[in-house]
Amino acid sequence: MEYNHAGEPERFARMAAAFGLDVRGTTVWHAAEMAVDYVHQLTVDVEIPSLEELGFSRDEIPMLAEKAAADPQSIGNPRDVDASAYKRIYARAFDLGRTRPPHINGDNR
């Protein structure tokens, strides 16, 4: 979601409102980030395992990225995504793990 929200921020802002988040008086971009953070926090709260907890290592990022890029389900993504983008997405997933989302508490990149 963090990668895709830039492709359709209005859609992600609507998600934030649908999640019950107070988006009044905020920008579309910030509301979109709120949706991303909400879902990330949800994954932490319900204890969805991180990639490392599932047994993957950073060394496997190129393989994971190639497999993801070959998956036809990425067609229709809000943003174009190729193996290079998937590498960044997987690296970010390893960086975040099960930590608190970056935008909660006002950190607005």
pLDDT tens sequence for the chain (109 residues)? 888 999 999 999 999 999 999 999 999 999 999 999 999 889 889 988 889 989 999 999 999 999 999 988 877 889 989 999 999 999 988 888 766 555 554 443 3
C-beta of residue 26 within 8 angstroms of C-beta of residue 4: no
| Predicted TM-score of the model (pTM) | 0.77
Which domains can be identified in the chain, with CATH numbers? 4-106 (1.20.1090.10)
What stretch of H or E contains 37? helix 28-45
Q: Residue 98: exposed, middle, or buried by beta-carbon count in 10 A (0-12, 13-18, 19+)?
A: middle
d(CA 32, CA 6): 8
d(CA 76, CA 22): 29
Q: Tell me, what amino acid is at 63?
A: M
